[in-house]
Amino acid sequence: MLINELAKRAGVSTHTIRFYERYGLLQGKRDPSKTSNNYFDYDEECLARLELIIDAKSGGFTLSEIAEIIDAWYGDIYTAKQKRQILENKLVVLDQRIAELRDMKKRIRECIKEIE
């Protein structure tokens, strides 16, 4: 699929996809049989990666954290044990963030009560 279709299916702009490509999170492929254009083709794996990026961003992950997750998930760089450890570390970070958010929510409620 071309970038416009990828963007439409993922619900993001083509500029967002290009940004993730520049950051190294996504990579389109050129079709060697097509020499008349410079278009990149994107497959279902690219769509899955893009959806992972979007979900991770909405979860508060940084782009460098997302890159590490993508390397662990899709790359052959890490052993299964290392992949598991990376993902478990992310769970610890998420638990810490959730605790911080709950604390912030509690403080805001206390401020509201003081105002009333």
Write out pLDDT tens, residues 22-72. Answer: 998 998 887 666 655 678 889 999 999 999 999 988 877 889 988 888 887
Write out pLDDT tens, residues 69-91. Answer: 888 777 777 888 888 888 888 88
Please check whether residue 1 is in contact with residue 9, taking contact to mean a CB–CB distance below 8 angstroms. yes
Domain assignment of residue 78, yes or no:
no
pTM of the shown model = 0.70
CA dist., res. 39 & res. 14, Å (int)? 13
Domain assignment of residue 8, yes or no:
yes
Residue type, 45: E
Domain count along the chain: 1
Q: Which domain holds residue 12?
A: 1-59
What is the number of residues in the chain?
A: 116
Domain assignment of residue 48, yes or no:
yes
